[in-house]
């Protein structure tokens, strides 16, 4: 059976390549022997999404924010190796409801609201 593929879709207009690259680096470091590929997929329109084997696990527009790195690791781990312990990255992540009082940020480059 082939190893899982992670795709990180990011907005080129918003210049989120560095964030996508950092996310890929963290996933490859954490899951070094468990991933077959981590692909960076350039998009437009304020996109920042993470997929595991084609299944969406995080979407910036839906959540109204960027993910915390430990959150991305937990979401990927839950799909590829649910029994794996992540150490300090297994602590709780702030929920969206805790951040709901913040206004969505606009991406002025591509005219998208988060």
pLDDT in tens, 66-104: 999 999 999 999 999 988 888 766 665 554 444 444 444
Q: Which two tokens stand for residue 37?
A: 């590929």
34-92-22-106 Cα dihedral, nearest 10 degrees: 130
Q: Which residues pair with 42 in a beta bridge?
A: 10
What is the spatial distance between Cα 35 and Cα 111, in angstroms, rounded to a whole number? 34
> What is the model's pTM?
0.81
């Amino acid at each position: 059976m082939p190893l899982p593929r992670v795709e990180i879709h990011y907005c080129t207009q918003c210049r989120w390549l560095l964030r996508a690259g950092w996310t890929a680096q963290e996933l490859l470091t954490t899951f070094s022997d468990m991933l077959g590929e981590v692909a960076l997929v350039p998009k437009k329109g304020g996109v920042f999404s993470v997929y595991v084997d084609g299944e969406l696990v995080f979407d910036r527009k839906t959540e109204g924010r960027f993910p915390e790195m430990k959150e991305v690791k937990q979401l990927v781990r839950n799909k590829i190796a649910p029994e794996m312990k992540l150490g300090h990255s297994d602590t709780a992540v702030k929920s969206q409801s805790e951040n709901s009082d913040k206004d969505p940020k606009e991406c002025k480059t591509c005219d998208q609201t988060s």
